[in-house]
Structure 1
């Protein structure tokens, strides 16, 4: 049975590392949740380490700027691990070829231009038109506020026929931007797979981003231990599944993507509704809480 918490402090002393999702957990794409910020600050003040683990397709520097713009306190976390970082490494080592078509908005250009220092030791990646591409790098829809995966079915059919592989820089299917639900790169990659194409994933729930998060944590001096690590987030198929596969305890934020499933009080999920919904997912988080606080 998943235990419902009233606040993170009830169990936080059992852990020295928290791997914390951002969107839907710490912020909603527009503003930081003050209670979540305070909970992370308290955890760190007590000696814990916080690594923000996000499926954002942006490299760390881009996510850092976004968090700074929203005003997230610097003492609420120790480091950041992004799907963009992990996927960028895959791209630079030629996972989908060296001449690629970028499927994504201009705001994600940093994925190609803000490269790690070690990239200079690898042949360059060239962005080319679709008809000239050896592979696809997908960071999301071109117009994420209006488009759906179905808008790309025709292009994906052509890509599949040509045998192009797709690198997915963000395995999330959807996120809530304020009150608007938008599709992510993961939804596009999912459609491509369903059509018979081949996609590569680097963010949650897949291993590369957790390997990166461990490295970020150990750089702070932390001695890593699975049984002293907790994964926190609102994505049952990303944050929770990934944490479980890695052998971590998990804290499911019910007030995020699936908030409508657990009653009218976002802060306090209905226990019976939660138990039934979790049973249907075939995944059982260690803990659950309405909002991170």
Structure 2
């Protein structure tokens, strides 16, 4: 049974580490929510560690560069772990070949240029020469639809190309506009019979990377003392449950329209009925992170 809570502080003492989603929990793509920032600051002030775990298809340094614009201060987090980080490792190790075609917007080019020391990106080539695909999203995330790529995907499947999905999210909300993510394209490719490889939530590589980064920082934490926070029931929550950690579902994010008129206070009956159809119910739920 999912327990409704009013604030992170109500359960914070049980946990040493947060695996906290960014988009939909801490910010809306345009600005940070002050109450969410304050909650993370308070958790750290109490001795906890905050890992901002995002399905962004960009490496952690590129994610951090956006924090000043969004209004996320340095004292609200300890580590950033992105789907881009985990996917970079796989790409550099040849998961989809040494000549790859990039499907994604120009803003994601840093995925190929800002690699950690010791990793080398494969050669980016035109589609006709590619051994595999790296997908960071649609070319035009504001206007393209996943079905627009079916023709290209048919050709890719015929050639046996694997698709590395650097962001398993299906959609995100940029302010009041919903936009498609790489996960939606990978789902179409898989549905057509192609092979898609995933490295962000809910899949294990991003959690393995988070634990390695914590260990490198001298933090060895037991799963019982980790809380995964997110607004994606099939990414953040499913991933946390799969990793054996407690989960906190933020109802005022992607699914906000399902639970009543007040995004900060979901209607319990609506939430309970919706969760009945889910095989990975969260341990806790609240409207907005605070």
Place the TM-score, normalised by the shorter chain, in its bin: over 0.9
The match for 2:173 is 176
1:91 aligns with 2:91: yes
The match for 1:210 is 207
The match for 2:79 is 79
Deviates more, 1:221-230 or 1:81-90: 221-230
Distance 2:11 2:160 in 1: 49
The match for 1:134 is 131
Q: What is the SS of the residue equivalent to 1:118?
A: coil
- List gaps (5 residues or longer) in structure 2: none
Runs of 4 or more above 3 Å deviation: none
How far is the alpha carbon of 1:138 from its aligned partner?
Answer: 0.1
The match for 1:110 is 110
Deviations 1:99-146 (CA, angstroms, capped at 9, x unpaired):
0000000000000011110115xxx51100001100000000000011
Distance 1:187 1:56 in 2: 14
How far is the alpha carbon of 1:283 from its aligned partner?
Answer: 1.9
Distance 2:55 2:119 in 1: 21
Distance 2:30 2:18 in 1: 23
How far is the alpha carbon of 1:235 from its aligned partner?
Answer: 0.2
Distance 1:89 1:283 in 2: 28
Distance 1:158 1:259 in 2: 38
Q: What is the SS of the residue equivalent to 2:115?
A: coil
The match for 2:101 is 101
Distance 2:88 2:218 in 1: 25
Q: Report if aligned partners of 2:31, 2:69 keep a CA contact under 8 Å in 1.
A: no
TM-score calculated relative to the size of structure 2: 0.99
1:53 aligns with 2:53: yes
Distance 2:96 2:230 in 1: 30
The match for 1:201 is 198
Q: How does 1:255-270 map to 2 (within 5 A)?
A: 255-270=252-267
The match for 1:160 is 157
The match for 2:67 is 67
- List gaps (5 residues or longer) in structure 1: none
Distance 1:24 1:92 in 2: 30
Distance 1:180 1:40 in 2: 26
**Aligned pair count?**
290
How far is the alpha carbon of 1:67 from its aligned partner?
Answer: 1.3
Distance 1:237 1:224 in 2: 24
1:14 aligns with 2:29: no
